[in-house]
């Protein structure tokens, strides 16, 4: 369904990325075909109790942060110190590690946007930031102290509630920048990052805000890692840099990773009038649900409907499709075939950023949105690393009598999946992300010419 409304521009971006010091370092590495996945010492420390041992993780030290642990509960990070003095102590006191990342990424994105203090603190400026997890490191230590160790409630610290509440990242960002507009969080599992950007886009498009800080976060958490490892959906058996392998015939799970991606959105005419550097224009955002009652299995029908909602009858074929591409056996096959079903098999290429840094869960959609913005800047397509061999046989679901989708095997579409970065004129990109519960999100962006 299409509604008339205002145009929306992207004017700033910032983030926290595995092994990277800043956005420029991130761009340099991913456009050099590098993997940011490595062996995680915290997973290794648990021996055979954890099946997977690789992650695109971010450590506190790498972000120039230090945890100060409680004298009552030595596993409880009572507060964090910012050794570069980027965030005031008062804001650090209410933040878990992911919220700190959100604030750091916001500061970088706002600096790039060129917004002044009056614009930032306006009623017309909103914050829409969310995560997939729930500050489990904070909660685990706090509740263990009370329920298992029999300690008094105060051992949990005075800020466990605000450091683990559902919309803690948005709240901390809002308190940091002191905006007076919307402050909220959209949670939609692994579609969270893109979903928050899409919601912020709609707020601006329909005149409810003029500007918005938006994105997703996933703070490093062994608890989240363990949860997915228990589901047996994480990659194992490969070297770290070859563990995330979307579409490869030997893929066996995703790489659980962490990070943050924040962008600044602004009504297009306002951005133009003040001479902003417009990174991209958002053409449309569309999200839906599979509607088949399955919590986990991807829906071909749901994803093809997503494309119809995003493109309508425009006939647009984007130059690049930034796929979700998790490296899971069922997910990748359904996604690639639904893309081909919707766009045909020529005139575009597919980029799979998770092949380079893994699956950042709640941050995935927003960090990958940033990779799309970088593809505009570099005029180059990011690769699908490790997609060495695609299945030459039909998938099992393609062999069923009631299958009405694409009839060719994945290997037939080899040319759509570059295995290394290559230059190309890129004027339009579509981004896709999906999440548990059958939620699907898509966004179409154009380069400002």
Q: Which residues are catalytic?
A: 190, 324, 359
Contact 43, 258 (CB under 8 A): no
- For residues 323 and 335, what is the distance between their CA atoms, to the nearest angstrom? 8
- For residues 291 and 306, what is the distance between their CA atoms, to the nearest angstrom? 12
At 229, list the tokens.
Answer: 């490892």
Contact 352, 413 (CB under 8 A): no
Contact 60, 260 (CB under 8 A): no
Residues 6+ apart with CB under 8 A from 86: 104, 107
Other Cβ atoms closer than 10 A to 449: 5
Direct distance between the N- and C-terminal alpha carbons of the chain, in angstroms, rounded to an integer: 27
- 3-state secondary structure labels for all residues of 233-295: CECCCCCHHHCCCCCCCCCCCECECCEEEEEEEEEHHHHHHCCCCCCEEEEEEEEEECCCCCC
- For residues 141 and 224, what is the distance between their CA atoms, to the nearest angstrom? 15
- For residues 315 and 428, what is the distance between their CA atoms, to the nearest angstrom? 13
């Amino acid at each position: 369904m299409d509604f008339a409304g205002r145009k929306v521009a992207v004017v700033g971006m910032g983030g926290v990325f595995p092994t990277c010091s800043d956005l420029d370092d991130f761009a340099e590495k991913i456009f050099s075909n590098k993997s940011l996945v490595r062996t995680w010492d915290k997973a290794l420390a648990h021996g055979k109790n954890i099946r997977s041992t690789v992650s695109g993780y971010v450590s506190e030290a790498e972000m120039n942060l230090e945890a100060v642990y409680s004298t009552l509960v030595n596993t409880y990070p009572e507060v964090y110190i910012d050794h570069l003095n980027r965030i005031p102590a008062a804001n650090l006191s209410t933040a878990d590690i992911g919220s700190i990342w959100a604030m750091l990424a916001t500061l970088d994105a706002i600096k790039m946007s060129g917004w002044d203090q009056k614009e930032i603190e306006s009623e017309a400026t909103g914050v829409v930031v969310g995560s997939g997890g729930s500050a489990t490191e904070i909660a685990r230590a706090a509740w263990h102290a009370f329920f298992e160790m029999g300690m008094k409630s105060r051992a949990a610290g005075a800020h466990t509630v605000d450091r683990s509440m559902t919309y803690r990242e948005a709240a901390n960002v809002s308190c940091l920048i002191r905006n007076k507009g919307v402050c909220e969080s959209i949670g939609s599992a692994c579609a969270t990052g893109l979903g928050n950007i899409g919601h912020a886009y709609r707020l601006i498009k329909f005149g409810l805000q003029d500007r918005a800080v938006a994105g997703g976060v996933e703070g490093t958490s062994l608890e989240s890692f363990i949860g997915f490892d228990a589901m047996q959906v994480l990659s194992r058996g490969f070297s770290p840099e070859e563990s995330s392998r979307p579409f490869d015939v030997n893929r066996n799970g995703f790489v659980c990773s962490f990070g943050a991606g924040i962008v600044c959105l602004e009504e297009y005419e306002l951005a133009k009038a003040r001479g902003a550097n417009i990174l991209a224009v958002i053409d449309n955002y569309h999200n839906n649900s599979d509607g088949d009652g399955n919590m986990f299995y991807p829906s071909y029908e749901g994803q093809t409907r997503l494309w119809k909602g995003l493109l309508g009858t425009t006939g647009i074929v984007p130059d690049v499709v930034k796929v979700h591409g998790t490296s899971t056996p069922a997910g990748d096959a359904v996604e690639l075939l639904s893309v081909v079903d919707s766009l045909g098999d020529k005139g575009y290429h597919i980029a799979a950023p998770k092949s380079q840094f893994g699956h950042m869960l709640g941050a995935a959609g927003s960090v990958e949105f940033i990779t799309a913005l970088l593809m505009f800047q570099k005029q180059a397509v990011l690769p699908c690393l490790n997609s060495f061999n695609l299945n030459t046989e039909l998938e099992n679901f393609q062999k069923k009598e009631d299958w009405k989708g694409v009839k060719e095997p994945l290997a037939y579409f080899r040319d759509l999946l570059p295995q290394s970065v290559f230059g190309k004129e890129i004027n339009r990109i579509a981004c896709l992300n999906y999440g548990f519960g059958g939620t699907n999100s898509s966004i179409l962006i154009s380069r400002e010419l």
